[in-house]
Amino acid sequence: MIHSDDAFLTSAQLAQRWHLRPQTLANWRSLGKGPPFIRMGRIGSGVLYPIEAVLAFEKLAPEWLTYVTRKSQS
């Protein structure tokens, strides 16, 4: 049961939040890295990241995310 659109982030939204390219998130998914995601339909039709999983991932690796954000801004 999906509660609302606010409960999920698209790849584009998460990439923007973390200052990454969407392709980076796609690479991570293929390697089994990053936060949990839900694949919508067939391969290539999109994924959603539960916001609670994103927040938990950010708490587990704050120094890593700070590094990625700082690196992308330089």
State which residues form the domain around 30: 5-73
**Count of domains forming the chain:** 1
User: 0.85 cut: is pTM over it?
Assistant: no
The pLDDT tens digits for 26-56 are: 999 999 988 999 988 766 568 999 999 999 9
Q: Phi and psi (nearest 5°) for 15?
A: -60, -40
At residue 67, the 3 state secondary structure works out as helix
Output the domain CATH number for residue 29: 1.10.10
> DSSP assignment of 19-74, as one string?
T--HHHHHHHHHHT-SS--EE-SSTTS-EEEEHHHHHHHHHH-HHHHHHHHHHHH-
Mean pLDDT score of the chain: 81
Per-residue pLDDT band for 21 (boundaries 50, 70, 90) equals very high
